[in-house]
Structure 1
Amino acid sequence: MTPRLTAKFWVDAYLARLRFQDIPAFVTAHGDDTSGAVIVKLNTLDGEAVAHTRMFDLMSGHRRWDILTKGAERDVDAAIARQKEFDPDLWVIEVEDRAGRHLLDEPGLDG
């Protein structure tokens, strides 16, 4: 069994990779340091946004990033707020990038 990283460790590493690429990002909800789930909201600064969440792929047995919701930023924010209502341990990271970069598809972050 592969050891799992703590949520805080993963978030800190993700934020560092974003900073290295000069992509602004910040934590808008600090979840449980050990096992909190993570949502990454990509704000393209044009009124649109995409919320990504990690899912478990039953076919492969691996975790992968999937789109939770996308559309108008206010609608994405409302969907994230609903998630936070039933998961108080949830982390939310907001990434701001007009080009739509979030790095979640890069090795080490892709699953």
Structure 2
Amino acid sequence: MRLKSAIFVAALIRRAAVEGAYAVVVRRGAEEAGAIFVKVSRLDGTAALYGPAPQTAFDESYPSDRKFSVVVEAGRPEADADARIAREMKFDPDIFVVEIEDRAGRHFLDLAAP
């Protein structure tokens, strides 16, 4: 069984805090199954954006966990990540957006193999 999006987001924020990073929910999505996007700001004007991995990244028909893929590469201007988030919100208004501020650029996510 897959965790509800709201629970996953709460756990992600807690994990970032435990590791010494600052994380906040910028936009609340659908509690049950809203897509989750994570923006990682390095506090130098650059950011990375991570979003749900495509279904092809999973072996089974319905994944039991969440995996993410890179949407905007690390080191790009924050405006690139913000523009992509705006496009995603037009496509799906029920997304969660979490922002992590960490100079080391840590995301605390399980990434799917490229």
Q: 1:26, 1:59 → 2: CA distance?
A: 27
Higher relative contact order (CA 8 A, sep 6+): 2
Measure how far apart 1:56 and its partner are.
3.1
> Given the alignment of the two structures, is residue 86 of structure 1 paired with residue 91 of structure 2, yes or no?
yes
Segments ≥4 residues shifted beyond 4 Å: none
Measure how far apart 1:65 and its partner are.
1.4
Query: For residues 29-40 of structure 1, what are the structure 2 equivalents within 5 Å?
Result: 29-40=27-38
**Percentage of identical aligned residues:** 37
Q: TM-score, normalised by structure 1?
A: 0.86
Q: Contact conserved, 1:18 with 1:103, CA < 8 A, in 2?
A: yes
**Unaligned 5+ residue runs, structure 1?**
none
Measure how far apart 1:60 and its partner are.
4.2
Measure how far apart 1:64 and its partner are.
2.5
Pairs aligned (count) = 105
**What's the Cα RMSD here?**
1.7
